[in-house]
Structure 1
């Protein structure tokens, strides 16, 4: 986001001037997160979750590197090495619980970040590439999380790998060879564990690289905002630091407090008890489920029970992958010129139905595959695709939107007139008045 009024970096200390002339790293940081990066002044707390996602990615990378020093990627020793970390390594239990629950919280903040983008139209021009890079990050997160779930080599880890890699066998001709190539054999074993461990260690760094591209792409058009109105003048913005660094810091402290409560008081609440049983290829668990953040997609997979032209299993796999891939086409499915859902009354109602629908899919994905839950999954899966392929294009074509504010400032200040305050008295308008 480049504006004429953006303050340029001018190092004052001799050392910083010397460094900036040879390696402009201070200038880069200042332009990315400092006073040189103007941000719309009306951002609310829904915009904190991008920073929170970066925070939890950092937590996962740091704890993962340390855990890898003690983990033994062997079909005979993986389960015992995890127990060794928990019982014998200094603070090993804390590292493992932080890493295990950090994955869940990483997905929580990412899901909120995605739904915020859906509501406020962050996928619309000129931010299509920002949205798509975010979806690439999400797909890499899913692959990393799946491989990490296999590493403890417990019952649910083993059978989760067996079931999820079995999806590829649904594809005719190439499916089974691809599955054998992924596993390194015909069933999860030493080769699969070695491959998953190496990829689980590597992919977070790939995610970090795509995050850099995501932020870079964001800085070109600038951040979106709750009104969806473009920045027009200097008074529409505030410098990222100190205003939004303080806001992000408060949100991070609040979220980390909740995270600490889970780590110390309910560390296994988001996991599955069967994963504390060593993997046994001869004993199938009564109810095989992936981690909770995959439940909506698992429900879509199980919603297909009848062969129609293609096998039901193949329909389920295609639908599961399509439920994510369809999000890449949102900039062209939703053609409404208004970005923010706050000014789209019909869209807002259907968005709430979509959120409820995804929650229902998640509940059904974690429930046993009884006829009742399968039937509910079928209805919910049908609505999910109908929302993006039918409802959203029709709403964007026929909806009568509310009038947009003239500018970001007029919306943020609620039409107040800025008057000079008496000498010695600070006007009571918070950060916005101070910034002006």
Structure 2
């Protein structure tokens, strides 16, 4: 996708800067004139929406950190202080809390778009792997942020999740104690989580920069999955896609703003508005909605397998669910990228999306109810079957529909190609 630069400095100052730090040249080549497939639809705007969400989270997080007190005796009250006494604090805190959910909603859409259109296939494997790394880092950041308000769900969620590390042979207890800063969740835990929650978004931003760099090497994938043939297949990123992305961001911000101003607490668990009490265990410990699919996978393994006990089995299953995402470029070896031309794949993919929604729902249900327990196991089984069995088998047996010869043909029709 790289081409010779067409940038010509427009003034003596620009030329002076270009000879020393060619930042304007870089912006023009990679942010404005970058050749982008002409057939990208609105599913592709979620990359820009995610960059916007990350910026919102970092800015609001820095402001909240100025008023937050990472001490178990004061953390809960300091959050209430932000909401009630800090100028604009209620809105800033709401934007940060709702922003976490908005971030994950956009992130899941971005991932599922990539899974359908084959954005993980060669030569974009590194791009995909960096995306999964961002996903894992964002989940870790969100979990640590959920602990900071120091409500009942914060405390008991931290207790449950840090406790799972103790299942790892040999080093498990050491990792758990390192995370907690002791034998139980307490003040050192809160300090560690606050420090990491503040630090990790900047690491995420650095990996996002790598992700965008990895995108600009092979260029964008597109809905038909056919590589760019020549300049007729592309448009400059600006103004065509900057305007499209801007519209996508504005539309995304409308429900975002509704939640912030009219229902900022609707996605939170009621028990988290009760101060943490180590002597009172909630009847049902539930993480935030965006962590529920993997929470279902973690607790679905409630049986021993040979020498692996159920606790370690749950940790292996949850780790394996992430590993499946990382190695999907090598599990799906079909030559056709886009799911639009794969008739069998479409059905299994649709079932996978519904299955993932089922995993999310079951994560919030009581696993002691037999039906919930069985359904959870069924959803977890299909998650792994999809990656480990269905994708490799479909790659060998499926006959895809004929592909257009070029992007221009798919956009303009054969007569104009």
Contact 2:298 2:314 in 1 (8 A): yes
Indicate the residue corresponding to 1:228 in structure 2: 225
TM-fit CA distance, 1:416: 5.0
SS in structure 1 opposite 2:36?
A: strand
C-alpha deviations, 1:94-127, integer Å up to 9, x for none?
0000001101100110100000000000000000
Q: Describe how 1:287-326 pairs up with structure 2 within 5 A.
A: 287-309=284-306, 310-326=308-324
Q: Describe how 1:150-169 pairs up with structure 2 within 5 A.
A: 150-169=147-166
> In structure 2, how many angstroms separate the alpha carbons of the residues matched to 1:81 and 1:8?
54
Indicate the residue corresponding to 1:103 in structure 2: 100
> In structure 1, how many angstroms separate the alpha carbons of the residues matched to 2:384 and 2:366?
23
Indicate the residue corresponding to 1:350 in structure 2: 348
SS in structure 1 opposite 2:356?
A: helix
* Structure 1 position 26 matched with structure 2 position 10: no
TM-fit CA distance, 1:254: 0.4
Q: Describe how 1:21-170 pairs up with structure 2 within 5 A.
A: 21-35=19-33, 37-170=34-167
TM-score, reference length from structure 2:
0.98
Contact 1:63 1:98 in 2 (8 A): yes
Indicate the residue corresponding to 1:198 in structure 2: 195
> In structure 1, how many angstroms separate the alpha carbons of the residues matched to 2:373 and 2:299?
7
> In structure 1, how many angstroms separate the alpha carbons of the residues matched to 2:256 and 2:7?
36
TM-fit CA distance, 1:327: 1.1
Q: Describe how 1:213-252 pairs up with structure 2 within 5 A.
A: 213-252=210-249
Indicate the residue corresponding to 1:2 in structure 2: 2
Indicate the residue corresponding to 2:409 in structure 1: 410
SS in structure 1 opposite 2:111?
A: helix
Contact 1:302 1:374 in 2 (8 A): no
C-alpha deviations, 1:380-403, integer Å up to 9, x for none?
111110111111100011100000
TM-fit CA distance, 1:308: 2.2
Deviates more, 1:325-334 or 1:252-261: 325-334
> In structure 2, how many angstroms separate the alpha carbons of the residues matched to 1:332 and 1:226?
21
C-alpha deviations, 1:190-211, integer Å up to 9, x for none?
1001110011000000000000
Deviates more, 1:18-27 or 1:207-216: 18-27
TM-fit CA distance, 1:11: 2.2
Q: Describe how 1:278-289 pairs up with structure 2 within 5 A.
A: 278-289=275-286
Contact 2:134 2:207 in 1 (8 A): yes
Q: How many matched pairs?
A: 415
> In structure 1, how many angstroms separate the alpha carbons of the residues matched to 2:211 and 2:24?
20
Q: Give the counterpart of 1:267 among 260, 264, 268.
A: 264
> In structure 1, how many angstroms separate the alpha carbons of the residues matched to 2:364 and 2:62?
30
Contact 2:409 2:416 in 1 (8 A): no
TM-fit CA distance, 1:179: 0.2
C-alpha deviations, 1:319-359, integer Å up to 9, x for none?
01110111111111111110000011111111101001101
Q: Give the counterpart of 1:364 among 359, 362, 385.
A: 362
TM-fit CA distance, 1:20: 1.6
Indicate the residue corresponding to 2:328 in structure 1: 330
> In structure 2, how many angstroms separate the alpha carbons of the residues matched to 1:368 and 1:31?
54
> In structure 1, how many angstroms separate the alpha carbons of the residues matched to 2:26 and 2:199?
26
Deviates more, 1:116-125 or 1:7-16: 7-16
SS in structure 1 opposite 2:64?
A: helix
Indicate the residue corresponding to 2:179 in structure 1: 182
TM-fit CA distance, 1:409: 0.5
> In structure 2, how many angstroms separate the alpha carbons of the residues matched to 1:417 and 1:395?
34
TM-fit CA distance, 1:39: 0.1
SS in structure 1 opposite 2:284?
A: coil
Contact 2:141 2:197 in 1 (8 A): yes
Alpha-carbon RMSD across the aligned residues, in angstroms, is 1.1
> In structure 2, how many angstroms separate the alpha carbons of the residues matched to 1:406 and 1:172?
54
> In structure 1, how many angstroms separate the alpha carbons of the residues matched to 2:148 and 2:243?
38
SS in structure 2 opposite 1:238?
A: strand
TM-fit CA distance, 1:302: 1.6
TM-score, reference length from structure 1:
0.94
C-alpha deviations, 1:167-216, integer Å up to 9, x for none?
10112322112101110011111100111001100000000000000000
Indicate the residue corresponding to 1:397 in structure 2: 396
> In structure 2, how many angstroms separate the alpha carbons of the residues matched to 1:57 and 1:314?
33
Indicate the residue corresponding to 1:434 in structure 2: none
Indicate the residue corresponding to 1:17 in structure 2: 15
Contact 1:165 1:179 in 2 (8 A): yes
